[in-house]
């Protein structure tokens, strides 16, 4: 689908120079001399390289539609991870580079993820925004520490460290944001 150069928004995927790019940041620029343009920071979907490009309103770019489907995580063997399509029950195995090393610790058996694909080729995996994990190790509470808004380090069941409020102890289930591995709240279960 063709769109004007100034209609690009963050998150849009466009085809430019024969490759697929995701718009990360945009900035409208109106110089004192000459026409206005849109400064766009693009990130290559396949290899992650970045590119800064200028688009004028008179230019047109090809906006790409990605297929988004829900898949259930089944298992992983360290290098590849197997997911099952929720509708057709087909299984697909994806390499760790496609899943993202920073996302792997959050994968839980049975978790539903969204896989974006272009022309039947998977290009990215999106996890839920929050996951619930148990604390396996937490420092003891220091008397008087609860008065201030201080946090203490804790070890999650997936091996990651997170800063939690002082009242959270070992065995407590907490909700963690997958984007930055930060504590959100105590689990309600």
Which of the listed residues 48, 63, 78 is the one where a domain comes to its end?
Answer: 63
Residues 112 and 136 in one domain: no
Which of the listed residues 63, 80, 107 is the one where a domain comes to its end?
Answer: 63
CB 134 within 8 A of CB 162: no
Q: Could you read off the pLDDT of 37-87 as tens digits, one per residue?
A: 999 999 888 888 899 999 998 899 999 988 999 999 999 888 899 999 999
- How far is the C-alpha of 51 from the C-alpha of 26, rounded, in Å? 12
State the DSSP string of 75-117. EE-SSEEEEEETTT--EEEEEHHHH-TTTGGG--TT-EEEEEE
CATH number, domain at 28? 2.30.30.30
Q: Structurally, how many domains does the chain consist of?
A: 3
Rg (CA), the chain: 22
Distance of CA 106 to the CA centre of its chain: 11
CB 112 within 8 A of CB 129: no
Residues 135 and 116 in one domain: no
Lay out the sheet containing 91-95: strands in order across.
91-95, 80-85, 67-76, 112-118, 121-126
Domain that holds residue 28: 2-63
User: Which residue stretches of 52-136 are H helix?
Assistant: 96-99
CATH number, domain at 110? 2.40.50.140
Residues 101 and 81 in one domain: yes
Residues 35 and 74 in one domain: no
Residues 43 and 72 in one domain: no
Mean pLDDT value across the chain: 88
Cα separations in angstroms, 175 against 106, 155, 162, 188: 11, 13, 11, 9
Residues 36 and 78 in one domain: no
Encoding tokens for residue 129?
């925004």
Q: What is the pTM of this model?
A: 0.75
Q: Could you read off the pLDDT of 106-146 as tens digits, one per residue?
A: 998 999 999 989 888 888 888 999 999 999 998 876 666 55
Q: How many CA atoms lie within 13 A of 25 on its CB side?
A: 7
Answer with the residue of higher pLDDT: 145 or 89.
89
What is the 8-class DSSP label of residue 69? Answer: E
Which of the listed residues 31, 63, 95 is the one where a domain comes to its end?
Answer: 63
**In this predicted structure, what is the pLDDT of residue 144?**
62
């Amino acid at each position: 689908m063709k769109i004007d150069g100034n209609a690009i928004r963050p998150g849009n995927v466009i085809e430019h120079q024969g490759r697929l790019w995701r718009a990360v940041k945009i900035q409208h620029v109106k110089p004192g001399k000459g026409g206005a343009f849109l400064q766009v920071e693009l990130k290559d979907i396949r290899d992650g390289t970045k590119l800064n490009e200028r688009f004028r309103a008179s230019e047109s770019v090809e906006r790409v539609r990605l297929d988004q489907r829900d898949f259930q995580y089944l298992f992983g063997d360290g290098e590849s991870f197997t997911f099952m399509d929720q509708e057709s029950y087909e299984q697909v195995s994806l390499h760790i580079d496609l899943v993202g090393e920073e996302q792997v610790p959050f994968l839980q058996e049975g978790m539903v993820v969204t896989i974006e694909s272009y022309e039947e080729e998977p290009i990215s995996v999106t996890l839920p925004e929050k996951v619930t994990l148990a604390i396996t190790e937490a420092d003891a509470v220091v008397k008087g520490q609860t008065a201030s808004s201080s946090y203490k380090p804790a070890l999650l069941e997936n091996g990651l460290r997170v800063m939690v409020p002082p009242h959270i102890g070992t065995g407590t289930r907490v909700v963690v944001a997958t984007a930055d591995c930060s504590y959100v709240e105590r689990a309600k279960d």
